[in-house]
Structure 1
Amino acid sequence: MRTAFGQQFDVPDGYLNTASIGTPSMAVAEAVERAVREWRTGAGHAEEFDEPVALARRGFAELVGVEADRVAIGAAVSPLIGMVAASVPDGSRVLVAAGEFTSVSFPFAAQAGRGVTVTEAPLDEIGARAADFDVVAVSVVQSADGRIADLEALRCARASGTRVVLDVTQAAGWMPLELGWADAVAGAAYKWLLSPRGAAWMAVHPELELVPHAAGWYAGADPWSSVYGLPLRLAADARSLDTSPVWFGHVGAAVALPWLAGLDLEAVRSHCVGLADSFRAAMGLEPAGSAIVTVQRRGALGRLAEAGLVVAGRAGGARLSFHLYNTDADVTAALDALR
């Protein structure tokens, strides 16, 4: 058992795979276990999940720097970004990072039948080229190797008229974020936000008009009175984009996200990046300011696995991710395995 930032985690030594699956705190796991037990015994009631949904929504809003009424819920990032992709005008030009996670790029590429074109560019060129495109869609932190997008350059591009769509799945939870200026900011629960899979959110700028293609009962102004019949009566804010919540995902997120949002995220970043950059330095790599490190060394993935460490194979290398429950001992174990 480990204690980190006031919470307990039943995370094993050498777990360096948060970028794939985050490990919940005991408080999160216990909340989900209670909800499952109530479901199993017939004691659960659908209306009782509204509060966890609202708490998690507010937590995500705080983590990305917006008001909660700008946040829509979903089950995964790609359907949320898909609403944005479906809303761009015919013939729009979209810029994405080369090797971008496909939940960001595929929704736009799927619009090719409307003349939408998607161009890939190296991540370090995205900011400079953004003004030449109608939309830029990029992860704040790249899944494959942890590189960080130039948010200030993207903010400037947005001011000049380019729509900016961001995925914070590999950033929110360890990186302080103030992204109220972006057109859309989407993120999933089950990595750095330490919640069950099945919950995702998207903050939408008031100037971005979206059609709620998947509108259902939970998108209603009063969800419990919009379960039958017409006319259309959607919420007046971003809830009009909601899809029906995956209950247990939000039960966990309702504990995890408000807790994360209440932490000193500069201290969290310092901890996570400090471990990652310490590992990088010992490997002869320059500091990168990211909590994710990918080692491009032959046999690295196998050696880490043989030593009992949990990492991921990404982009032809071994990806290590350092979150708030990791320690110097995890760094040492990884280095010992690779030496």
Structure 2
Amino acid sequence: MRAFGTDFAVPSGYLNTPSVGIPPAPVAEAVAESVERWRTGAIRPDEFDEHVARARAGFARLVGVEPGRVASGASVSQLIANVAAALPDGTRVLTAEGDFTSVTFPFAVHPGVTVTDVPLDELPSRVEGHDVVAVSVVQSADGRIADLPALRAAADAAGAAVLLDATQAVGWLPLNLAWADWVAGTGYKWLGSPRGSAWLAVRPDAQERTRAVAANWYAGEDPWATVYGLPLRLAGDARAFDLSPAWLAQVGSAVALEYFAGLDLAQVQAHNVGLADTLLEKLGMPPRGTAIVSLEGDPARAAEAGIVSSVRGGRVRVGFHLYNTPDDVERVLPAFE
């Protein structure tokens, strides 16, 4: 099908974007071309630097920061570990109950850190007395959206740092997160990229509060000059936290993130949320203003109706993205009415 100016080979009833996004055709084609170059011995390692840079710039644009503030990695948890490992003993971290564990586990594994989780809607009112707040912009399990203005105000008043995981938001929700100390996100969900690419935006004054736990040659100021030998010589910007890239993932991400960064995300949001809220309305439930819907029902019935979805928190989770249509809404209804 064709949507938002590009083609998607997506089957009807595919509502599993919160787990795995479908790539725009040019993304899949770019990866296939790179696989062929690999298969035929035509690739050279340094050719992937361009893809890493393009993907980095795309993520920067999507979250509202400069590219030099963005580190490139493979997964959200690996990138958040750079933040958690740098925290001094005695640090108090506040998180949301039931948040995705790639956000919370890097802090919880730190023996000197105390992690407290509270209901998402109470998060801003509970910031006082904590040093760091770590939360997903959009909750993976059910699509609830954090009250970012209230959180920002509360964190400013309390002098607390803020880490945001934008994974379930970036690609459909317009974002300007330059105010946050750290913003993480991965590419294989709403950004239609291969799994193996992720990014961490680091506010300049937060860089000294971040530790390169997987320091490596690619995190050097000039990676091709930091392949061998000491002394330590990491990049002066957020690239100091880079991980050596997963090549094929970066090839796809370069194309995908440029595509999404060029969209009017307000239109994407209106499309996605419009379908999600239409589904809720037809099921007799109030609108929720998010692209992810969590429904009480039998996953087997959903599968029998031709719906590709996931089960999260004991409920069927569906997500609507730019390649979904009103026909997908109609397909869901019989399984939950």
Fold similarity call, TM over 0.5: yes
Residue range with higher mean Cα deviation, 183-192 or 131-140: 131-140
Letter in 1 for 2:91: S
Shift of 1:154: 1.5
Counterpart for residue 251 of structure 1: 251
Letter in 2 for 1:252: G
**8 Å CA contact retained: 2:272, 2:321:** yes
Relative to the length of structure 1, the TM-score reads: 0.97
SS of the counterpart of 1:131?
coil
**8 Å CA contact retained: 1:158, 1:182:** no
TM alignment of 1:179-258, pairs within 5 A: 179-208=177-206, 209=208, 210-258=210-258
Q: Deviations over 1:66-121 (max 9, x none)?
A: 0000000110000111111111121111111101100000011001x22x111110
TM alignment of 1:305-320, pairs within 5 A: 305-320=303-318
Task: Report the aligned-residue RMSD.
Answer: 0.8
Q: Does 1:138 align with 2:138?
A: no
Structure 2: 5+ residue stretches without partners: none
Letter in 1 for 2:140: S
Q: Deviations over 1:200-237 (max 9, x none)?
A: 00000111121212110100010011100011111110
Q: Deviations over 1:151-192 (max 9, x none)?
A: 001111232311100001100000000000001100011000
- Partners of 1:337 and 1:317 in 2: how far apart? 13
**Which residue of the other structure, out of 132, 148, 156, is the alignment partner of 1:151?**
148
Counterpart for residue 58 of structure 2: 59
**8 Å CA contact retained: 2:306, 2:331:** no
Letter in 2 for 1:128: S
Displaced runs of 4 or more, over 6 A = none
Letter in 1 for 2:12: D
**8 Å CA contact retained: 2:81, 2:213:** no
**8 Å CA contact retained: 1:55, 1:254:** yes
Structure 1: 5+ residue stretches without partners: none
Counterpart for residue 326 of structure 1: 324
SS of the counterpart of 1:132?
coil
How many residue pairs match? The answer is: 334
Q: Does 1:31 align with 2:30?
A: yes
Counterpart for residue 161 of structure 2: 163
- Partners of 1:131 and 1:104 in 2: how far apart? 20
- Partners of 1:106 and 1:227 in 2: how far apart? 31
Counterpart for residue 73 of structure 1: 72
TM alignment of 1:113-124, pairs within 5 A: 113-114=111-112, 116-124=113-121
SS of the counterpart of 1:236?
coil
